[in-house]
Amino acid sequence: MADTVNAKWADVKPQLSVLIPFLRDDPTPLLTALSREGDQLATRVEVLVLDDGTNSSSLTRDLKALIATLPLAARLITRTDNLGRAKGRNLLAEHARGSHLLFLDADMMPDSPLFLSTWLDLVEQSDLPVAFGGFSLLQASTHRAFRVHRAMALRSDCLPAEVRQQQAEKHLFTSNLLIRRDVFDAHAFDDSFNGWGWEDVEWSMRISALHTIAHPDIPATHMGLDTVDALIKKYRQSAPNFARVAGLHPEIVAAYPSYRAATAIKDRHMALPVAFVAEFMARAEWLPVRLRAFSLRVFRAALYAQALSKDERS
- One digit per residue, pLDDT tens: the chain, 314 residues? 678 999 999 999 999 999 999 988 899 999 999 999 988 898 999 999 999 889 888 999 999 999 999 999 999 999 999 888 889 999 999 999 999 999 999 999 999 999 999 999 999 998 899 999 999 999 999 999 999 999 999 998 999 999 999 988 888 898 999 999 999 999 999 888 877 888 888 999 999 989 999 999 999 999 989 999 999 999 999 999 999 999 999 999 998 899 999 999 999 999 999 999 999 999 999 999 999 999 999 999 999 999 998 867 66
308 DSSP assignment: H
Rg, C-alpha atoms of the chain: 20
H or E element in which residue 101 lies: strand 100-104
Backbone angles phi, psi at 121, to 5 degrees: -60, -40
For residue 108, what pLDDT is reported? Answer: 95
How long a stretch of residues is the chain?
314
83 DSSP assignment: -
Could you tell me which residues come within 8 angstroms of residue 19 by beta carbon, excluding any fewer than 6 positions away?
48, 50, 89, 92, 93, 96, 101, 102, 103, 104
For residue 1, what pLDDT is reported? Answer: 67
Map out the domains of the chain with their CATH numbers: 2-225 (3.90.550.10), 230-313 (no CATH)
For residue 314, what pLDDT is reported? Answer: 60
Give me the DSSP letters along 116-176.
Answer: HHHHHHHHHHH--SEEE--EE-TTS---GGGHHHHHHHHHHTS--HHHHGGGTTTS--TTE
Are 33 and 65 a contacting pair, CB within 8 Å?
no
Biggest CA pair distance of the chain: 62
